[in-house]
Chains A and B, each alone.
Chain A
Amino acid sequence: MTATQKVKFYQVGSFAVGNRLLDADQRTVQSDVSRNNTITSGHRACQGCGEALGARYVLDAAMRATDGKLVAVNATGCLEVFTTPYPESSWQLPWVHSLFGNAAAVATGVAAGLKAQGRGDVRVLAQAGDGGTVDIGFGCLSGMFERNDDVLFVCYDNQAYMNTGVQRSGATPSAARTATTEAIGPEPGNPFGQGKDMPTLAMAHGIGYVATATVSDLHDLEAKVERAMDFHGARYLHVLVPCPLGWGSASKDTIRVARLAKETGLFPVYEAEYGTVTAASPIRHRVPVEDYLRLQRRFRHLFDSQGAVKRPDIVGQLQQMADRNIDRFGLLTDEVA
């Protein structure tokens, strides 16, 4: 891994948020009492919201990496709605929300404006959900990438339009139930053969840094944010954030589900520079996809009431997708954490 150096056995230090035995600089930003809490308490996210957690992780790390000189541009979506209902804002940094599809363009403008004022030391981070990134936001995002504007774009991927009631997006995985891809008929859930692989699309633009991450591996996520801030120009970070409401998982399982997404191989965690993959985070204890699917009611139609697989054809296809990811990125190594 270029982004994280795994700490040589240290009790929990390699995986937990912090540990009294580790030097401060080997612990996460989150373990530090002086972390920014860029999203502070009192926001209206659901219990166990993966996006609230992921956004705080990313922004606290970004604030640390930029010494607090950071501006955030937010698209319309859950994150924006639950953090800024007048008169309450849970943000603690300069933040602007314009529209659903233009976060990347507004961020381009902010970056250009700061540069024109000679304030290039202030960095810009744009953030959106999966809808605001791969669907309605795609045009502006592609333009920002193509011009290599100095913006880090972060996509919090909960794999559907959650704020409007769980509708399918271009990031919704195959077979998942949403309000517009119900689990009925011969092809229950979201059809196979659709969807955008946004990180790969980002890589195709040849931008300096592209990475994927989840909320279950904090060290990795923070290291990637920090690494991203080493670059100038367009950068993209794709973070998997489970949504208990939309995924139908228990609120306490948010991190566990994200972990399983990685450990099955369904969500590959990797980094790329200038269009080429440079490192992948290996799977630690591989599990079959059903262990992940079973925890989520959006995949309930694949199981019977006892939890046994009822649709081996669909589960099999999903397993193949996971297998292909494992092959493509080399996610199984002999390396022990």
Chain B
Amino acid sequence: MDKPFAITLDVGTSLANKTGSWRVDRPVYLDRLPPCNDGCPAGENIQGWLYYVEEGDYEQAWRRLVEDNPMPAIMGRVCYHPCETACNRAKLDEAVGINAVERFLGDQAIEHGWSFGFVAPPSNKRVLVIGSGPAGLSAAYHLRRFGHAVTIYEAGWALGGMMRFGIPKYRLPREVLDAEIERICALGVEVELGHRVTDVPEEMRAGGFDAVFMAVGAQLGKRAYLPAGDSAHVIDAVSLLHSMEGVDPPSLGRRVAIYGGGDTAMDAARTAKRLGATDAVVVYRRTREKMPAHDIEVEEAVEEGVLMKWLSTITDVDFDKGHIVIEKMALDETGFPQPTGEFEELDADCVVLALGQESDLTLLASMPEVVVADGSVQVGPDLMTGRPGVFAGGDVLPVDRTVTTAVGNGKKAARAIDAWLRGETLETPVRHELASFELLNTWYYADAPRTERPRLEVARRTSTFDEIVQGLDETNALFEARRCMSCGNCFECDNCFGVCPDNSVVKLGFGNRYRFEYDYCKGCGICVSECPCGAIVMEPELA
């Protein structure tokens, strides 16, 4: 075409004009730490595995998950999900049902028989794990994957620790527990049941171990002084729950008083109901708000007919007469319960003590360098005790006593041990800025209320030990995962690619996100405003 000078121009000739020179600030892609990941005691990359669930690739999601935590089916039943508490979606409508999805993945893995993948080549190092609760099993799993030879010494007659002997079946069915433990052992973990350790250095020398991880838990129920306290009618909750695993169920009375306000107290009370108690009364010296038990435990217990007696302590027992004596308490200004001098009789034919647990630390006897304070083992940030090569984790430490924390400890210890065995120190990764709610543009997320897991009706619950909370089906799990807002990390929604008035975002293809074309970007900041997940930030343009 014979174009008249200046009047008619060739198309696209504006590309010669590099409008990037107009900028004062430039947009930069970044990854921020999602609150769910930040909140997970097991250090899971929750957002990372939810990403795969969103796509329907459950196996890939599971594999991503078990990079950090080998027991999702268990987690999905027992974890108190601090991830959901932290979830930004709660500020929009409701938190993403992460726990439900985790359980779904765990159950899928069991159903489809997925096995763990990669185990590194043998390192020729041997590590001893004492205790097969969540901390021990988690450590064993990670150490084995690093290629170390792992042996577990378990004092009891079965693996699982508190997961088997503390958490009731109605919360954690034993088939699920067994399946996930079996999968860990299938990696080649050596196990010796009934092997109680009393002298750590001796065991290490005898077994040729290069390092040891102590995860013996806190399995001794604390006792309070009660007259007739040693009678058969007073038992501690830990023993009660432990004995549930036996062949014959224990027999409690018809009216059971449970002394204490923690999760163990709730488990004990609910177990008592299922064992046939007409009344299960929780006696707690403070109020509901002050109870250490998690809300869900208390709610379920109340739904099942467990009664609560607040602001009460047990001062005397008289089982011949079939009652106990309780004293009313009142909270003083500091919130501490004070006796009021008023007494009451409460019908009860047995008392279950749920006053906390302590660790059996006799195995430390020959290691004076290992420091103990307040009944807990003291460790450094790498979970190593005062004795080199001796690490500890789980309930023996002064940490939150949950399965998830223990699992997290196991992973952390395994990594520390692995580094120590190679003569290196463990690097702590750089912590990214938190992806808080204000950094998101939530307009873009479709309105989607949370899916609740179906639950057994109360009547059926209290008469059996069947699992109460059912899982999500696939559609719901998918729906729930897609409620995730991917806080702080690009999930390729194409918004920046679409909203730039200057065409200055380049799409790099599926999985490769985007890049800014700084030759033309004028720094208007629309991309930052319209990024739903807050993965772009404006930085001053360098001279």
Contact = CB atoms under 8 A, between A and B. Distances in A.
B14 A251 contact: no
Contacts of A256: 529-530
A37 B15 CA distance: 12
Contacts of A17: 493-495, 497-499
Contacts of B504: 41
Contacts of B381: none
Contacts of A31: 494, 497-498
A89 B524 contact: no
A292 B487 CA distance: 26
Measured as residues with beta carbon below 8 angstroms from the partner, the interface class of chain A is 35 or more
B16 interface: yes
B525 A251 contact: yes
B10 A89 contact: yes
B15 A18 contact: no
Interface string B1-38: 00000100111111111110010000000000000000
B501 A52 contact: yes
Contacts of B524: 47-48, 244, 251-252, 254
Given A48-B501, A251-B526, A11 B18 contact: no
A252 B528 contact: yes
- Which among B17, B494, B497, B532 has the greatest number of chain A C-beta atoms within 10 A? B494
Interface stretch (B76-84, B282-290, B441-449): B441-449
Contacts of B19: 41-44
Interface string A130-171: 000000000000000000000000000000000000000000
A121 B470 CA distance: 59
Interface in B481-508: 482-484, 491-495, 497-504, 507
Nearest to B530: A255
A337 interface: yes
Nearest to A41: B520
Contacts of B484: 11
A282 to B, nearest CB: 12
B525 A16 contact: no
Interface in A1-57: 7, 9-21, 27-28, 30-31, 33, 37, 39-45, 47-50, 52-53, 56
A13 B12 contact: no
Nearest to A215: B499
A336 interface: yes
A56 B499 CA distance: 10
- Which among B504, B517, B526 has the greatest number of chain A C-beta atoms within 10 A? B526
B225 interface: no
A15 B443 contact: yes
A323 interface: no
B54 interface: yes
Nearest to A45: B501
B14 A40 contact: yes
B12 A15 contact: no
A47 B22 contact: yes
Nearest to B528: A252
Contacts of A50: 501
B479 interface: yes
A50 B529 CA distance: 14
B446 A20 contact: no
Interface stretch (A90-98, A182-190, A273-281): A90-98
A290 B526 CA distance: 22
Contacts of B479: 9
A302 B441 CA distance: 27
A118 interface: no
Contacts of A20: 55, 491-492, 510
A191 B483 CA distance: 46
Nearest to B481: A11
A21 B503 contact: no
A18 B498 contact: yes
Contacts of A11: 54, 445-446, 482-484
Contacts of A90: 12-15
B191 to A, nearest CB: 43
Interface of A: 7, 9-21, 27-28, 30-31, 33, 37, 39-45, 47-50, 52-53, 56, 83-84, 86-93, 218, 244, 250-256, 259, 336-337
Interface of B: 6, 9-19, 22, 54-55, 443-448, 479, 482-484, 491-495, 497-504, 507, 509-510, 517, 519-520, 522-526, 528-530, 532
Closest 6 CB pairs of A and B: A18-B494, A252-B525, A17-B498, A42-B14, A90-B14, A48-B524
29 contacts: A9-B482, A10-B446, A11-B482, A11-B484, A16-B494, A17-B493, A17-B498, A18-B492, A18-B498, A19-B492, A20-B491, A27-B494, A28-B494, A39-B503, A40-B503, A41-B14, A42-B16, A47-B22, A47-B524, A52-B502, A87-B13, A88-B14, A88-B16, A89-B10, A91-B12, A250-B525, A251-B526, A252-B524, A255-B529
Given A17-B494, A53-B499, 5 more contacts: A21-B482, A86-B6, A90-B15, A255-B526, A337-B447
